[in-house]
Amino acid sequence: MEYNSKTRTIQNIKSNIDKGLIKFDHYLQREENQWNRKTKSLFIDTILRGYIINPIIVIKDNKILSIIDGIQRLSTIRDYINNQFALSKDMDILEYYDMDSEQMESFDLSEKKYRALPLSIQQMILETELRFYEITDYTDKEIRDNFARLNAGKPLTQKQLRKTVTTQQFQDAITDILSLPLMTPITKEERGMKKLITPTMKKGSTDRDIIIQTLMLIESSNGNYELNSFTTNDINDFVNWYNINLNDDVISQLKVTINTLNEYIHYVSLKPTTTPFMLYAAYKVIDSETDITSFILNLKNFIENYRDNTNYLNIVQAGTTSPQSVKARLDYWNNMIK
């Protein structure tokens, strides 16, 4: 792997973001907006006080820079300059040199958006330099391995770290499935409605695990993989296996299944521990070219009467990752589609 180091001003960074030359969608990175307002404010304060900032790590392909470490920092800078949020109410006073008065001044940063800052403070932000490591010659495995080592000890969940053992081909397939209308979180226009995937699930990468678990169930039923449990180790074992044995036909059929379901149940809510089994059952129905109407009726009945379904509730209350729990839920959904 080859890389070089260079500094870029925030003004240059913001310009390249606006031109689409800096990408925020590399498959290894977490979603944006993982930071709360307090953390974002502290980062802006760090810039203004000239404190040390960790370098940004990107992959450079031609003129495009894809972030693999630093998306929260760069998205915070972008959003603050675009006046998307105000700083926290408990910010410390900033002492700065005012270019107009040519003397030191004091300014209360509390609850200030970028546009409310004096021009001299705005310029301080724009002129700040951040160090970039630009990777130019690499393999996918080297990138994943390097990312895992960079994030060792950081508060990433097992679901988020799972990306480090997943090839780009598999990640792209998951991303493609999650871009389908049924699998996207509600928009502002849909506020108040319910959907299978919530913003919280997307933020924590639960949505990606739902697809992986669905594929585990499908490949097991097809006799291609021996399903054991949904523990972290067993999911990672499947990911390693699917990195090599990814089945394009199964991926395509799963997308057909999800698009078919979208015609009937666009606005529904299920527990994430149930969604993989529902998608698996729908897949089996459609793959067998059976009329889906009966399954949709059973599914709607399941959703409407979920709280009174003591048999199913007893299964999930006993745990959701063990071999026994996975088998019990699989048996339940298989019985539904007999």
User: Alpha-carbon distance 278 to 301, whole Å?
Assistant: 13
Give how far the C-alpha of residue 268 lies from the chain's centroid of Cα atoms, to the nearest Å: 21
The answer on pLDDT for 98 being more than 80 is yes
Helix (H, G, I), strand (E, B) or coil at 17: helix
Percent of the chain whose predicted confidence (pLDDT) is above 70: 96
Cβ-based neighbour number of residue 18 at 10 Å: 12
Q: For the chain, first and last CA: distance in Å? A: 52
Pairing verdict, β 103-108 and 93-98: antiparallel
- Of 223, 287, 213, give the one whose Cα is nearest residue 250: 287
Give 151-173 pLDDT, tens digit per residue.
665 555 666 667 667 888 998 99
Q: Which residues pair with 65 in a beta bridge?
A: 22, 60
pTM above 0.75, yes or no: no
Range with lowest mean pLDDT among 37-41, 128-132, 205-209:
205-209
Burial of 286 (C-beta count, 10 Å sphere; 0-12/13-18/19+)? buried
pLDDT band at residue 138 using 50, 70 and 90 as cut-offs: confident
In the prediction, which pLDDT does 10 show? Answer: 97
217: its two tokens: 């169930």
Q: What is the dihedral of CA 153, 157, 160, 166, to 10 degrees?
A: 80
Mean pLDDT of 22-49: 88
In the prediction, which pLDDT does 153 show? Answer: 57
Contact between residue 134 and residue 58 where contact means Cβ atoms under 8 Å apart: yes
Contact between residue 85 and residue 113 where contact means Cβ atoms under 8 Å apart: yes
Mean pLDDT of 133-138: 89
Percent of the chain whose predicted confidence (pLDDT) is above 90: 66
Sign of the torsion formed by the C-alpha atoms of 261, 270, 163 and 237: negative
Give 250-292 pLDDT, tens digit per residue.
999 999 999 999 999 888 888 999 999 999 999 999 999 888 9
Contact between residue 111 and residue 118 where contact means Cβ atoms under 8 Å apart: no
Give 214-258 pLDDT, tens digit per residue.
999 999 999 999 999 999 899 999 999 999 999 999 999 999 999
Which amino acid belongs to residue 160?
Q
Helix, strand, coil proportions of the chain in percent (round to 5)?
A: 55, 15, 35
User: Alpha-carbon distance 298 to 100, whole Å?
Assistant: 71
Which amino acid belongs to residue 256?
V
In the prediction, which pLDDT does 8 show? Answer: 95
- Of 188, 247, 184, 243, give the one whose Cα is nearest residue 210: 184
Does 151 or 301 have the greater pLDDT score? 301
In the prediction, which pLDDT does 269 show? Answer: 83
The answer on pLDDT for 190 being more than 80 is no
In the prediction, which pLDDT does 196 show? Answer: 87
Q: Cβ contacts of residue 140 below 8 Å, gap of 6+?
A: 167, 168
Pairing verdict, β 22-23 and 64-69: parallel
146: its two tokens: 């390097």
User: Alpha-carbon distance 15 to 8, whole Å?
Assistant: 11
Q: Which residues pair with 132 in a beta bridge?
A: 6, 56
Burial of 52 (C-beta count, 10 Å sphere; 0-12/13-18/19+)? exposed
Does 36 or 153 have the greater pLDDT score? 36
Contact between residue 107 and residue 93 where contact means Cβ atoms under 8 Å apart: yes
